[in-house]
Amino acid sequence: MTRRIATRRRVAALATASAMTAAFAAGGAPADAHTARAAASTVVHVVEHAVTDTEAPGVGGKDVKGNILTFNNPVFNTANKTKVGHDEGFCTRLQVKLGIWECLWTTFLHGGEITVQGPYYDTRNSIMSITGGTGKYEGARGEMNLNSRDGGKEYDFIFHLM
C-alpha cells in the first residue's frame, strides 16, 4: 500500500470518527455508520446515455444466462447538458427470470477514473461498490447509486466517494 493511500485512509477514518463524535456532542443520538460515511464522503453525480449497449448472445441465444452485455457510452454532467466523459464495461447475465446482471465498468471523467462492480437489475435501481480510481479519484472507495432514467435510455451514476 502506498503512503498516499494509507494517509487518505487514515484521514477518512479520522473524519468519520469526528462526524460521529460531533453528532453525539450536538445532542443527537449516536450516528450510525451510514450517516457518518455520508458526512465524510464526496458526491460525484453524472448521467450516462446508454446508446451503445450490445448483448452478445451465447450458445443459448438472446437473453440467456451467461450472455455478455458490452458498452462504451457518453457521460454528461448532472444537468445532462455537457459531456464530461464516458464509460466502458461489461455485464454478465446471471438470472433471466429475476432480471439480474453482474457488471464491472470504469467511468472516465476529467482528472481521473472511477471503477465500480455490482448488480444491475432489469426492473429496479441498484447500489454498486466503488472498487478504485485513478488521478484525483486514486484510492476511491464507497458506493454508487445506479438509477434508471427515461425507461433505461439514461442512468444516474451517483458516486459516494470515501
What average pLDDT does this structure show over 60-70?
93
- pLDDT bin (cut points 50, 70, 90) of residue 61 is confident
Kindly provide the residue ranges of all beta strands, DSSP E only, lying in the chain, ordered along the sequence: 42-49, 54-56, 68-71, 74-76, 83-95, 100-109, 112-121, 126-133, 142-149, 154-161
Per-chain mean pLDDT for the chain:
83
Task: Say if pTM beats, i.e. exceeds, 0.85.
Answer: no
> 61 has which bridge partners?
58
Reported as a single tens digit per residue, the pLDDT across 21-58 is 333 333 444 445 544 555 568 999 999 999 999 999 88
Reported as a single tens digit per residue, the pLDDT across 133-159 is 999 999 999 999 999 999 999 999 999
CA distances from residue 148 to 15, 122, 145 in whole angstroms, order as listed: 32, 9, 10
Stated length of the chain? 162
